[in-house]
């Protein structure tokens, strides 16, 4: 029998009470630090490729190898996420919330201490890949686990705010990685970075991860899980089995929205600098600055979007931000982007449109009942993101070779699919606790 979707009303705290503010802030801060640990690798992929692989191969091969190891983290996400979600539905959200940040902090710290190819040969990339597997498993449990944790604390009337604040924190982790990378490259020569300075961001990330563990010990278990536990309403069978059997529509809608999130983040934030430099010869520093501003706008918009979802509902937010995102991404890859002033302005607009991604956690939280919420959200999100994270760079790169607007076409298509999925979810009453009257 299908488990009925359950609104977030059990033991709901007063709106923005002191305890709720502390929970949202600490959870968002921890998410930012953990996402920094996962993403900082990409900012040093070039030097890592040269250090951890044989020196007598072409540069493009070492870059490919380094990004392949980066991708290992994405493919480890579904397994880690599903396993941790199972125990999160069975034994509590907080325990997994603590475990995920530990599983991220430790390998990040160890990456900063690893010997390189010149020291131990092919064992170096093997150890590096193992660390990325652990990081991927950790991030697979972190994002869905954090969304469940803050949403169940916040209650139905504050789901958007909770998810928006957390999404803003995750984007802040990307921004922190970009800032640290810029600082390292400004402070040290290329030789010094290759010699020792590349280790600093990982050592810093490991330290910050353990700070996050310390902060999270002050958080309480969610009131909804406590209420289910008190009335013996926890799912006794395999939660993921219930998800597959009774909630296929929720899975499909959640995956479509997750693909949209992956497309926006990968293309607009991570790939745009390199693509724009190749298309129009824009100086690297200009593209980096533009991306930093876009990332800042992305994080701010994620929070504002969450607030708007609580106030106006998901449908209105989707139909407003969707066209903004589509228009901005076409501007980002237009010939006009060769003008630094235009590039900066359109990057900020694209980042603001990226707030559309806050629809993803809100949909995931409202689409699955409490007893299997963690498993349903984690499976849908991590499987979709693993596929999209691996496919998107390849498709976008190939499309850009044939059409300069190829990356924009790809993002626009994903946004349209995401908006349609949102509208279908509302029309079918999947979002049972969408409290804006739709």
How far CA 407 is from CA of 272, 335, 410, 424, in Å, comes to: 9, 14, 5, 26
Regarding whether 310 and 378 lie in a shared domain, the answer is: yes
Alpha carbons 391 and 393: distance in angstroms, whole number:
6
Q: Tell me which residue range forms the domain holding 117.
A: 14-234
pLDDT of residue 373: 85
pLDDT in tens, the chain (438 residues): 344 444 444 344 344 555 677 777 777 777 788 778 877 887 787 788 888 888 777 766 666 677 677 777 777 777 777 777 767 676 666 777 777 788 888 999 999 999 998 899 889 889 998 998 888 888 877 778 888 888 877 777 788 888 898 888 888 888 888 888 878 888 888 889 888 899 999 999 889 888 888 877 777 666 666 666 555 545 566 777 888 888 888 899 999 999 999 999 888 887 888 788 888 888 877 887 888 899 899 999 999 999 999 898 888 999 999 999 999 999 999 999 889 899 999 999 999 999 998 999 998 888 888 788 888 888 898 889 888 877 888 788 888 888 999 999 999 999 999 999 988 887 765 444 443 332
Q: Specify the pTM.
A: 0.80
pLDDT of residue 258: 93
pLDDT of residue 237: 65
For residue 186, is it within any domain?
Answer: yes
For residue 111, is it within any domain?
Answer: yes
Alpha carbons 190 and 184: distance in angstroms, whole number:
10
Closest by alpha carbon to 197, among 214, 178, 179, 184?
Answer: 184
Q: Among the three residues 193, 214, 234, which one is the final residue of a domain in this structure? A: 234
Q: Among the three residues 234, 268, 297, which one is the final residue of a domain in this structure? A: 234
Q: Concatenated DSSP letters for 326-368? A: HHHHHHHTSGGGGSHHHHHHHHHHHHHHGGGGGHHHHHHHHHS
For residue 363, is it within any domain?
Answer: yes
Regarding whether 177 and 76 lie in a shared domain, the answer is: yes
Regarding whether 420 and 298 lie in a shared domain, the answer is: yes
Regarding whether 261 and 145 lie in a shared domain, the answer is: no
Backbone angles phi, psi at 270, to 5 degrees: -90, -40
Regarding whether 169 and 52 lie in a shared domain, the answer is: yes
For residue 324, is it within any domain?
Answer: yes
Alpha carbons 413 and 203: distance in angstroms, whole number:
39
Regarding whether 306 and 226 lie in a shared domain, the answer is: no
Residue 251 belongs to domain with CATH number: 1.20.1250.20
For residue 185, is it within any domain?
Answer: yes
Regarding whether 282 and 229 lie in a shared domain, the answer is: no
Regarding whether 228 and 244 lie in a shared domain, the answer is: no
- 332-338, long-range: CB < 8 A, 24+ apart: 332/268, 332/272, 332/276, 332/408, 333/275, 333/276, 333/279, 333/404, 333/405, 333/407, 333/408, 334/405, 335/280, 335/404, 337/276, 337/279, 337/280, 337/282, 338/280, 338/281, 338/282
Alpha carbons 169 and 302: distance in angstroms, whole number:
9
Q: Number of folded domains in the chain?
A: 2
For residue 5, is it within any domain?
Answer: no
pLDDT of residue 200: 93
pLDDT of residue 317: 92
For residue 8, is it within any domain?
Answer: no
For residue 6, is it within any domain?
Answer: no
Q: Among the three residues 204, 234, 264, which one is the final residue of a domain in this structure? A: 234
Regarding whether 253 and 211 lie in a shared domain, the answer is: no
Regarding whether 35 and 133 lie in a shared domain, the answer is: yes
Regarding whether 228 and 278 lie in a shared domain, the answer is: no
Regarding whether 159 and 58 lie in a shared domain, the answer is: yes
pLDDT of residue 263: 92
């Amino acid at each position: 029998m299908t488990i009925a979707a359950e609104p977030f009303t059990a033991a709901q705290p007063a709106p923005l009470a002191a305890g709720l503010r502390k929970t949202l802030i600490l959870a968002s801060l921890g998410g930012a630090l953990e996402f920094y640990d996962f993403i900082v690798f990409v900012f040093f992929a070039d030097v890592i490729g040269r250090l951890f692989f044989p020196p007598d191969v072409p540069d493009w091969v070492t870059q490919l190898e380094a990004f392949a190891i980066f991708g290992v983290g994405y493919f480890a996400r579904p397994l880690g996420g599903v396993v941790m979600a199972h125990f999160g539905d069975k034994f509590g959200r907080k325990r997994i919330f603590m475990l995920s940040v530990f599983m991220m902090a430790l390998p990040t710290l160890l990456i900063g201490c690893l010997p390189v190819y010149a020291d131990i040969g092919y064992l170096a990339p093997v150890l590096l890949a193992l660390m990325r597997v652990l990081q991927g498993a950790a991030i697979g449990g972190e994002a869905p686990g954090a969304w469940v944790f803050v949403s169940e604390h916040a209650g139905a009337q504050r789901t958007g705010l909770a998810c928006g604040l957390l999404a803003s924190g995750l984007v802040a982790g990307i921004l922190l990685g970009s800032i640290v990378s810029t600082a390292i490259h400004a402070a040290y020569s290329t030789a010094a970075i290759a010699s020792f300075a590349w280790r600093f961001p990982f050592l810093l990330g490991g330290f910050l991860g353990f700070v996050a563990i310390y902060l999270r010990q002050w958080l309480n278990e969610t009131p909804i899980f406590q209420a289910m536990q008190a009335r013996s309403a926890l799912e006794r069978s395999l939660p993921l089995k219930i998800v597959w059997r009774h909630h296929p529509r929720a899975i499909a809608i959640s995956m479509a929205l997750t693909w949209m999130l992956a497309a926006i983040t990968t293309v607009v934030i991570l790939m745009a600098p390199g693509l724009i430099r190749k298309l129009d010869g824009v100086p690297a520093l200009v593209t980096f600055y533009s991306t930093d501003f876009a990332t800042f706008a992305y994080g701010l918009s994620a929070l504002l979007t969450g607030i708007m979802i609580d106030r106006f509902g998901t449908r209105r937010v989707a139909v407003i931000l969707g066209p903004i995102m589509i228009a901005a991404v076409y501007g980002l890859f237009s010939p006009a982007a060769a003008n630094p002033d235009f590039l900066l302005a359109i990057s900020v607009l694209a980042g603001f449109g990226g707030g559309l991604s806050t629809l993803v956690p809100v949909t995931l939280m409202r689409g699955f009942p409490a007893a299997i919420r963690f498993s349903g959200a984690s499976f849908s999100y991590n499987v979709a993101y693993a596929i999209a994270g691996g496919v998107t760079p390849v498709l976008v790169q190939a499309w850009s070779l044939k059409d300069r607007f190829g990356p924009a076409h790809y993002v626009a298509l994903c946004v349209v699919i995401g908006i349609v999925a949102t509208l279908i979810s509302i029309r079918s009453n999947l979002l049972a606790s969408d409290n804006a009257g739709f």
